């Protein structure tokens, strides 16, 4: 659930919640009635729906219309009216080889982040069950501290850790015999730089996974594991056939959330590259931003943003099904 | 139990503990290094052979950080924006959360799905239309504009989280109060509200942290003179390079209050999350 919204992720809505007919009529309805019609709930919902319609519904609709228009600087300043251009923006974006490079890069990057986050998170959660109490406390402190760090601060700290001349990471690596990394610039190449950013994302995302999975692990009945062990299952067998199936709903939820968040990574790249990510660092998010605010083609930027959302739709669907299943909602 | 297996078990416990300590050191290192750099003299920070342990302690980086650009202005602006967003988010969100958790009505499911879906679209996708919207409304570079923008992600969050807390309060309590003659409103105020208070506090703090930490909108929608706290951290990098030690001091000033707030509510939020997940 959204408890994890600490990252930067976020929102966008189906416009369908904007036009519910009843609320306008309902808001005039008198105060709380004990039972009865839909008036009371709609009245309670009205302010929320109103705010969301303005701050989310309108921009979303605008995002869609924008991507079908020609909208550059002159339209922004109102010198020219925005004219509809049909699917031109999409055709241009989809016909651009660079777009596809960015898509592949984003998917690979997000996949790496998700896989590392989930695997490391699961391993640490399992480890926490096996260590002494004081070690557990220490690990929890470290995890909560890194979870609570504002993303901007974390990014700034990683920039310092990986600084080419004075960064501690290069200094430590150079202590290994035969290695001299002093002066190595991790951001000279896209893949290396994105690897560092992956590390940053994983470092920030693992605590949420560990803490959620740990809580889930405490719910696994000891008797079941015991029974499996008596039946001759090894550690792996117990995990594979007893623990994992019970954790599955949580794992699915965490994975889908991670995919959504990691596909939306922005400030980490943006700040690491001092506000101007090089071509080799562009992900879909920064690419869309770049088109809109650097190239000043707001329409193409919107088209890219919209395509990103479409790309995520499947994952979002899985997440929502899961949420509705477990969160339900009598 | 034979001594051999006891020893074996102790031996493996030792192994796990060592591994655990390794995890602790790795996960905690970035935070440690931030603090370490923040408190060491700036010239030690650019020692090519840095000492891993603290050598001498100084506060000069902090005074430099406060000097480099106005600090309290951005902090004040961030406070105003975050607090306003939280108040609106909690009040409006509470009403909506009540509606979807305590009433059965046609269209409820659609609203729930909507509120969930709303949280799923990347913030970046929204930045272009939001920028144009504020531009049209003349709210660009205004704190009110930023408040409006932050509601896009805070409001769905508060609705959904408060809903989770309300669902966990047994409906029977209210019904009992209503049988005893309370109206629905007084039943809520006297029975549900006190039970809900801790959850509300946790949700508020969490929402505050999210608003406080937001970077992209703050950067895009506010000019240099009106920058907020997260953007302030960018002032340490200029064309002449980066002043790392003061930057770590600045990072420390930004992070410590937030991490402390986070520590206070983290347990409650995580518990609320998984309670629902496992029961299903």
* CATH number, domain with residue B182: 1.10.3720.10
Return the residue matching tokens 């950080």.
B65
Same domain, B96 and B186: yes
B107, B44: one domain: no
Provide, as residue numbers in chain A, all residues whose Cβ is less than 8 Å from the Cβ of B27.
Answer: 139, 142-143, 146, 203, 206-207
Rounded to whole angstroms, the Cα distance separating B267 from B257 reads 17
What ipTM score was computed for the predicted complex, to two decimals? 0.84
Where is the domain boundary, B27, B58, B89? Answer: B58
Average pLDDT over residues A5-27: 35
DSSP state of A234: -
Q: What is the tally of structural domains in chain B?
A: 2
Please give the pLDDT value at position A195. Answer: 94
B163/B128 same-domain check: yes
From the CB of residue B86, how many other CB atoms can be counted at a distance below 10 Å? 24
Say if residue B143 is in the same domain as residue B92: yes
Q: Do B20 and A260 touch (CB under 8 A)?
A: no
**Residue B63, domain member (yes or no):** no
Angle at A242 between CA A239 and CA A245, to 5 degrees: 95
Give the per-residue pLDDT at A162: 92
Residues B54 and B84 grouped into a single domain: no
Phi, psi of A93, rounded to the nearest 5 degrees: -65, -50
Kindly provide the b/e burial profile for residues A303-318, where b requires at least 16 CB atoms within 10 angstroms of the residue's own CB: bbbbbbbeebeebbee
Q: Using CA atoms, how far apart are residues A218 and A216, in angstroms rounded to an integer?
A: 5
Range A90-327: architecture per CATH: Orthogonal Bundle (1.10)
Evaluate whether residue B65 is within a structural domain. Answer: no
Chain A residues whose beta carbon lies within 8 Å of the beta carbon of residue B280: 249, 325-328
pLDDT of residue A10: 34
Are residue B132 and residue B265 in the same domain, yes or no? yes
- Rounded Cα gap, residues A55 and A196, in angstroms: 35
In this predicted structure, the answer to whether residue A330 has a pLDDT above a threshold of 60 is no
Distance, first Cα to last Cα, chain A: 17
Question: Residues B27, B75: one domain?
Answer: no
Q: What is the pLDDT of residues A127-175, one digit of tens each?
A: 999 999 999 999 998 998 888 889 999 999 999 899 888 888 988 888 8
- What distance in Å separates the CA atoms of residue A179 and residue B194, rounded to the nearest whole number? 62
Pull the structure tokens for residue A274: 């001092």
Task: Chain A: give the shortest CA distance to residue B35, in Å.
Answer: 10
Enter the pTM of the model: 0.84
Last residue of a domain, one of B58, B85, B105: B58
Q: Where do the domains of chain A lie?
A: 2-66, 90-327
B25 belongs to a structural domain: yes
CB A242 within 8 A of CB A269: no
Query: Domain containing B177: what range?
Result: 70-279
Specify the residue for token string 């010239």.
B43
Q: Are B246 and B123 found together in one domain?
A: yes
Considering the domain boundaries, does residue B47 fall inside one? yes
Residues B122 and B183 grouped into a single domain: yes
pLDDT for the residue A11: 34
Q: Token pair for residue A104?
A: 């592949």
Can you list the alpha helix ranges (DSSP code H) found in A185-297?
190-217, 222-230, 235-238, 244-263, 267-272, 284-289
| Same domain (yes/no): B99, B163 | yes
pLDDT digits (tens, 9 = 90+) for A163-215: 888 888 988 888 888 788 788 888 888 899 999 999 999 999 999 899 889 88
Q: Is residue B195 part of a domain?
A: yes
Q: Are residues B90 and B189 in the same domain?
A: yes
Q: Which of B14, B30, B260 to mutate to test the interface with A (most CBs of A within 10 A)?
A: B30
String of b and e for B211-225 (b: at least 16 CB within 10 Å)? bbbbbbbbbbbbeee
Residue of chain B nearest A219, judged by CA positions: B278
Nearest alpha-carbon partner for B97 in A4, A48, A29 = A48
In this structure, is the dihedral angle defined by the CA atoms of residues A128, B207, A23 and B120, taken in order, positive or negative?
Answer: negative
Taking CA–CA distances from A258, the nearest residue in chain B reads B120
Residue B64 forms part of a structural domain: no
B207 and B118 part of one domain: yes
């Amino acid at each position: 659930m959204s408890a994890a919204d600490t990252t930067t992720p976020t929102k966008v809505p189906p416009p369908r919640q904007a036009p519910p007919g009843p609320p306008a009529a309902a808001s005039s309805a008198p105060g709380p009635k004990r039972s009865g019609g839909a008036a009371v709930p709609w009245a309670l919902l009205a302010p929320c729906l109103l705010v969301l319609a303005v701050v989310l519904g309108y921009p979303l609709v605008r995002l869609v219309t924008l991507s079908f228009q020609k909208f550059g600087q002159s339209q922004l300043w109102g010198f020219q009216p925005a004219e509809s251009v049909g699917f031109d923006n999409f055709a241009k974006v989809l016909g651009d080889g660079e777009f596809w490079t960015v898509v592949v890069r984003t998917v690979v990057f997000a996949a790496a982040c998700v896989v590392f986050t989930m695997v490391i998170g699961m391993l640490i959660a399992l480890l926490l069950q096996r260590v002494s109490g004081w070690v557990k406390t220490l690990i929890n402190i470290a995890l909560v501290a890194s979870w609570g760090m504002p993303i901007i601060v974390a990014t700034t700290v990683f920039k310092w850790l990986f600084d080419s001349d004075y960064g501690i990471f290069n200094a430590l690596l150079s202590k290994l015999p035969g290695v001299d990394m002093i002066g190595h610039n991790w951001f000279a190449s896209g893949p290396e730089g994105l690897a560092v950013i992956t590390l940053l994302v994983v470092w920030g995302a693992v605590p949420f996974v560990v803490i959620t999975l740990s809580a889930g692990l405490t719910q696994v009945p000891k008797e079941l594991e015991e029974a499996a062990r008596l039946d001759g299952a090894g550690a792996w067998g117990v995990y594979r056939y007893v623990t994992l199936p019970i954790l599955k709903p949580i794992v699915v939820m965490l994975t889908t959330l991670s995919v959504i968040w990691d596909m939306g990574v922005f400030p980490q790249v943006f700040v690491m590259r001092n506000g101007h990510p090089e071509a080799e660092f562009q992900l879909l998010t920064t690419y869309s931003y770049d088109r809109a605010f650097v190239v000043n083609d707001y329409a193409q930027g919107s088209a890219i943003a919209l395509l990103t959302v479409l790309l995520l739709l499947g994952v979002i669907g899985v997440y929502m099904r899961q949420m509705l299943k477990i969160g339900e909602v009598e | 139990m034979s001594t051999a297996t006891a020893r074996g078990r102790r031996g493996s416990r030792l192994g796990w503990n060592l591994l655990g300590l390794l995890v602790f050191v790795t996960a905690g290192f970035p935070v440690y290094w931030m603090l370490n750099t923040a408190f060491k003299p700036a010239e030690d920070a650019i020692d090519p052979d840095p000492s891993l342990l603290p050598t001498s302690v100084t506060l000069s980086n902090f005074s430099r950080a406060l000097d480099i650009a106005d600090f309290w202005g951005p902090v004040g602006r961030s406070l105003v924006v975050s607090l306003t967003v939280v108040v609106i988010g909690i009040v409006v969100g509470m009403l909506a959360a009540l509606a979807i958790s305590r009433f059965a009505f046609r269209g409820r499911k659609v609203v729930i799905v909507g509120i969930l879906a709303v949280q799923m679209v990347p913030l970046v996708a929204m930045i272009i239309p939001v920028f144009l919207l504020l531009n049209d409304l003349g709210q660009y570079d205004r704190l009110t504009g930023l408040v409006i923008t932050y509601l896009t992600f805070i409001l769905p969050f508060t609705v959904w989280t408060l809903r989770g807390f309300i669902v966990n309060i047994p409906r029977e309590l209210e019904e009992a109060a209503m049988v005893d003659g309370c109206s629905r409103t007084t039943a809520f105020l006297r029975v549900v509200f006190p039970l809900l208070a801790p959850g509300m506090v946790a949700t508020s703090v969490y929402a505050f942290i999210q608003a406080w930490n937001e970077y992209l909108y703050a950067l895009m929608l506010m000019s240099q003179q009106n920058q907020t706290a997260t953007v302030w951290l960018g002032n340490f990098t200029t064309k002449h390079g980066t002043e790392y030690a003061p930057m770590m001091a600045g990072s420390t000033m930004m992070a410590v209050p937030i991490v402390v707030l986070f520590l206070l509510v983290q347990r409650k939020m995580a518990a609320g999350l998984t309670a629902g997940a496992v029961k299903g």
